[in-house]
Amino acid sequence: MTVSRRTRASRAPLAPRPLEDLAAPRPVVASPDEAAAGATKALVLQGGGALGAYQAGVYEALFERHKDMDWVAGVSIGAINAALIAGNAPEHRVARLREFWNLVSSAPGQMLPGWAGERSWLNQWSAGSAVALGIPGFFEPRVTPALMMGAAAPMLSYYDTSPLKATLERLVDFDRINRREMRFSVGAVNVRTGNIVYFDNGTTTIRPEHIMASGALPPGFPPVHIDGEDYWDGGIVSNTPLQYVLDEHVRSRRLLVLQVDLFSARGTMPRTLGEVAARQKDIQYSSRTRMNTDALAANVNLQQALAALLERLPAHLRREPDVAALCAHLRSEPIDIVHLIYRHKPYELDSKDYEFSRITVDEHWESGARDMRITLQHPEWLRPTAQAGGVTTYDLSEPDVARVRHPGTAV
């Protein structure tokens, strides 16, 4: 088995402002649809537990307009959603996503109606039920006297995830994934080395264990043993596979990424201990994602500026093998990253990533579908401008607002 290894992204230096105008402009593209026509289209899904229903809603709305996708990559719950997408025929993908999310929200503790009480209380009841009894088709608690030993207990997790294996085997066609009709990548962390590893159907025969490894968040879930190594949730190192996609894509082809995140870096000042815990979790998982996105974009943009500078050398110097090889390595077709982020509700606390109530799952799904439809209704937000190469990011995390950062813009 061959896998690609990536370490944590470091903060890349920003492109110097004097280099902004070095690259020759490319023609303005008439529409986002035309810009996407020749691009590799990748869906990048972050981890976030029960919040992952938002990603399912995003895909449902996306599928209404754009049924073709070249690549889907995910971490943790994003890996499960990715498998449900890549492992089914296009006409069955939304139905399989719905079947999974209905299953994990079907326990009695998750089925209380909205009128049964105050919403934050209902959410906490659902989360408590998940902790005590597990989630159907996903995980169940280990019942053993060893738990009385506390931290000295000779066990590696509080829950057994064998129900998830059965669910994946029933809902995902792994033969389809391994036929490579769509590129598929999921990230996990090697327990012994601490390095993140990506299981990619271009180099690896994907099995349910690879998906389970990507979502094996300790100490709740056990490590997954694959080919002599043990793996935990990829979110321990990086909660988004964006870096892998940018590193591994074919640089001679334009890349269009839809990055769907589940934790928002922006938020209000907490007022209670519950809000403190929720805010801490948001910052922990989202700021790293945003930092990595900004750093990766700045790194690629700097490469484009350096390539443009090298192209201004005299012809006899450009023909030098080392210079030509460097230019070929630095230059890439444009990359566009469309960034959608789930916006949490006031009644959601730190349990929101393991709160699987049906009413909440449905809300998350509808939020994702609504945000994606709003984005598709405003093609002017995604209209390319006369920039040359580099990374353009479209931050669509706020309603009715689009923040666009073009190559050469300071992070």
pLDDT digits (tens, 9 = 90+) for 97-130: 999 999 999 999 999 988 888 898 999 999 999 9
Angle made by CA atoms 242, 244, 250, in degrees to the nearest 5:
105
pLDDT bracket for residue 259 (50, 70, 90): very high
Q: At 296, is the secondary structure helix, strand, or coil? A: helix
What is the distance of C-alpha 291 from the center of its chain?
14
The 8 Å CB, 24+ separation contacts for 62-69 are 62/258, 62/372, 62/376, 63/90, 63/93, 63/94, 64/373, 65/376, 66/36, 66/41, 68/41, 69/41, 69/42, 69/43, 69/182
What H or E segment, with its residue span, contains residue 6? strand 4-6
pLDDT digits (tens, 9 = 90+) for 119-178: 989 999 999 999 999 999 999 999 999 988 988 999 999 999 999 999 999 999 999 999
